Chain A
Amino acid sequence: MNEERIVEKLNILADAAKYDVSCSSSGSKRKNENKGLGNASNGICHTYTEDGRCVSLLKILLTNHCIFDCAYCVSRKTNDIKRAAFTVQEVVDLTINFYRRNYIEGLFLSSGIFKDADFTMERLVRVAKKLRTEHKFNGYIHLKSIPGASDELMMEAGLYADRLSVNLEMPTEEGLKLLAPEKDRKEMIKPMGFLKTEIIQRTEEKKLFKKAPMFAPAGQSTQMIVGATPETDMQVLYTAASFYKSYKLRRVYYSGYVPVLADKRLPELNTAVPMVRENRLYQADWLMRNYGFHVNEIVNHDQPLLDLDIDPKLSWALRNMEVFPLDINKADLQLILRVPGIGVQSAHKIVSARKFGKLNWDHLKKLGIALNRARYFVTCNSSEFERRDLTGSRIKQFILAESTSKYLKNSHTQLNLF
């Protein structure tokens, strides 16, 4: 192995893969039963980059050669950059050796499209197959599904990978048409539909026959780039909600557009990355998946944009003051989950702890609740509580005045984009 060349390849192909934000290695349940190498269950972030993102997988492209010319992508055909390609064996060696040193949870392998979809997908599958069969590797494997690849290859991919994903890239069909005219959204979604059906069938099979092979046990995910095209948060979140529902996706990722390319269809090169907006989208996504919110409670025609100053749960509470105050010692879990400043874990702890005795402010504080927000919305076993009949906008003022949010100083990010 030529050491310098392998270092250079890794630099090029990791750099090209980093805009794919998914790094999750959880949701699988692959055990190390064959006395082989590794297992995959809850996912561990082994380190964090200087931009604060989790590094859990070896995330690389097999190659950054690509026949497509998508405006938002660094690997686009017409971009003048260094190109490289790994061999199957090189990716396998890197994965195994990184894994053995406890650097990573597994591999996230994507690729530029060289020649055609099947040719590319076949290589990706070959890497996964080699890891699983020759090296008894039970760590996490995330493969990109290449749109247009044959069902047989997708099927094989599902047998070796824990997770598969197709990136929607743009939240709407119009956005995709504008920036990636060669790509067809329907064609892109097709493998997702195929895999969804397969995953459901195989899970049923596995329930009946324990020895039936696992099929993509960590399911499917997708990614949308936010801020490259003028979609509203409502459009973004409605798309996400519909994909959660119709394709049973485990996760939708939102990637704030990083201006890396000059193109008149894209935001200018010096545009700031919409990090606050991205953060608010993730918070909204969490509310849909873990807090029982319906997407139209978070964004709707009257409220198409997420509030950048405050999180979407607080924003919802301020618009629905008639629900509050809740008595923390009596309210249902579902309602407690809706109180700003109370997370899923704390909500469950409250419900457990109150069986033993009534809770007061001191207890709530010890349970880790953010009282600076929650105190406007709840009462507890104490004569002290918010007696003023405050409006939503007054409460927002009070909370913002006390908060030292890093977001306040750049709350204009989203406005810049339009």
Chain B
Amino acid sequence: MTTLIYDGSFEGLLTAAFEVYERRLLYVDLKKGERRTDALFDEVIQVITDNARAERVLAGLKQKLSRMGLQRLYAAHLAEFENEDNMLLGYIRYVFDAGQNIEEDYGNKYVMRVSELVRKVRREKHRMEAFIRFQKLKDETFYAAIEPDFNVLPLIIRHFKNRYADQQWIIYDTRRKYGVHYNLHHTEYISLDFSDVTPTKVVSAYDEGEELYQVLWKNYFKSVNIPARKNNKLHLMHVPKRYWRHLTEKI
């Protein structure tokens, strides 16, 4: 058993796959972690992310997987699941070792697991597309804070850029402390300093009409409910409580 330690990036994962083949390793244990220079045992290998090697692996994957298949692998990795690195590496190895495209071989444990991970990521991505609530600020920017279970912000940019092409917006992941700003032309990653933000400051940053529309939306949400059909279990299944704090209608 050889332990491989990599930096957690997608390029790092691909470099790790390169190492496996170059060193002809059979049993490996892949972990995310810091670079260590004090490795005591010779069966621990530091994977040093190497773009050229990653590119070669990527080119190979492109040949053996469909475009969708590659995107799915990328999404499964991007989400930053704990302790799934071996599954992702196993998947990559299975892709290379098999003589045909194995994307749909759901009887295989790696393919099945990646498919499960992708389903989780997709659901979270979809929830963010649904649950993001923008607040209009005085400078005409629409701002939304999110705390998704997995790192899905990069996956939702395209959706919001297409949809809100004519308004400036910021979506900020307050858990992972980074965001995306769209300036009517293109998007860029940003980080904000919230250290001196107080609730009153937040409200005073609102555009004049913001409060009215929040009130209208809350009222609308109440008005469309049919009490005779109340079904709280179903309600909670669709809108789990952990999302409520960013939902205007549930605050």
Chains A and B come from one and the same complex: yes
Q: Interface of A with B (CB < 8 Å)?
A: 3, 6-7, 10-11, 14-15, 17-19, 31-32, 35-39, 44-55, 58-59, 94, 97-98, 100-103, 136, 256, 258-259, 273, 275, 349, 352-357, 359, 363, 366-367, 406
Q: Give the residues in chain A near B135, CB-CB below 8 Å.
A: 101
Interface residue B199 (Cβ < 8 Å from any Cβ of A):
no
Q: Interface of B with A (CB < 8 Å)?
A: 102, 104-108, 112, 126, 129-136, 142, 144, 162-167, 209, 212-213, 215-217, 219-235, 237-239, 247-250
CB pair A102 B134 closer than 8 Å: yes
> Contacts A44-B126, A352-B104 hold; do A39 and B162 have CB atoms under 8 A apart?
yes
> Contacts A103-B217, A353-B106 hold; do A45 and B130 have CB atoms under 8 A apart?
yes
> Contacts A14-B220, A45-B130, A51-B235 hold; do A349 and B229 have CB atoms under 8 A apart?
no
Given A39-B163, A366-B106, 6 more contacts at CB 8 Å? A32-B163, A39-B162, A52-B237, A53-B224, A136-B166, A258-B228
CB pair B220 A10 closer than 8 Å: yes
CB pair A18 B229 closer than 8 Å: no
CB pair B219 A49 closer than 8 Å: no
**What 9 A-B pairs come out closest when comparing CB atoms?**
A52-B234, A352-B104, A353-B106, A51-B229, A356-B105, A14-B223, A48-B238, A52-B231, A49-B225
CB pair A51 B231 closer than 8 Å: yes
CB pair A50 B225 closer than 8 Å: yes
Q: Which of A15, A51, A53, A354 has the most chain B CB within a 10 Å cutoff?
A: A51
CB pair A44 B219 closer than 8 Å: no
> Contacts A44-B130, A58-B220, A97-B213 hold; do A102 and B226 have CB atoms under 8 A apart?
no
Taking the closest CB of chain A, its distance from the CB of B202, in whole angstroms, is 16
- 16 A-B contacts (beta carbon < 8 Å): A14-B220, A32-B162, A38-B164, A47-B239, A47-B250, A51-B225, A51-B229, A51-B230, A51-B235, A52-B229, A53-B224, A100-B164, A102-B134, A353-B107, A356-B108, A357-B105
Distance of A349 Cα from B132 Cα, bound (Å): 32
Taking the closest CB of chain B, its distance from the CB of A254, in whole angstroms, is 13
Taking the closest CB of chain A, its distance from the CB of B198, in whole angstroms, is 23
CB pair B166 A49 closer than 8 Å: no
Nearest residue (CB) in A for B167 is: A100
Taking the closest CB of chain B, its distance from the CB of A40, in whole angstroms, is 10
Distance of A178 Cα from B131 Cα, bound (Å): 43
Nearest residue (CB) in A for B224 is: A18
Q: Give the residues in chain B near A97, CB-CB below 8 Å.
A: 209, 213
How many A-B residue pairs lie within 8 Å, measured between CB atoms? Answer: 155
A356 is contacted by which of B102, B133, B142, B231 (Cβ under 8 Å)?
B102
CB pair A52 B164 closer than 8 Å: no
Q: Give the residues in chain B near A39, CB-CB below 8 Å.
A: 162-163
A101 is contacted by which of B133, B222, B223, B239 (Cβ under 8 Å)?
B133
Q: Give the residues in chain A near B133, CB-CB below 8 Å.
A: 101-103
Taking the closest CB of chain A, its distance from the CB of B250, in whole angstroms, is 8
CB pair A51 B226 closer than 8 Å: yes
Taking the closest CB of chain B, its distance from the CB of A242, in whole angstroms, is 28
Q: Which of A11, A44, A48 has the most chain B CB within a 10 Å cutoff?
A: A48
CB pair B106 A94 closer than 8 Å: no
Q: Give the residues in chain B near A357, CB-CB below 8 Å.
A: 105, 107
CB pair B163 A59 closer than 8 Å: no
Distance of A31 Cα from B162 Cα, bound (Å): 8
Taking the closest CB of chain B, its distance from the CB of A92, in whole angstroms, is 14
CB pair B212 A367 closer than 8 Å: no
CB pair A100 B104 closer than 8 Å: no
CB pair A36 B167 closer than 8 Å: no
Nearest residue (CB) in B for A58 is: B220
Taking the closest CB of chain A, its distance from the CB of B99, in whole angstroms, is 11
CB pair B102 A49 closer than 8 Å: no
Q: Which of B106, B107, B130, B216 has the most chain A CB within a 10 Å cutoff?
A: B107
Distance of A59 Cα from B223 Cα, bound (Å): 11
Q: Give the residues in chain B near A259, CB-CB below 8 Å.
A: 228
> Contacts A98-B213, A101-B135, A356-B108 hold; do A49 and B220 have CB atoms under 8 A apart?
no
Nearest residue (CB) in A for B161 is: A32
CB pair B238 A52 closer than 8 Å: yes
> Contacts A15-B223, A36-B166, A50-B230 hold; do A7 and B235 have CB atoms under 8 A apart?
no
Q: Give the residues in chain A near B250, CB-CB below 8 Å.
A: 47
CB pair A59 B130 closer than 8 Å: no
CB pair A37 B238 closer than 8 Å: no
Distance of A367 Cα from B215 Cα, bound (Å): 44
B130 is contacted by which of A37, A46, A53, A349 (Cβ under 8 Å)?
A46
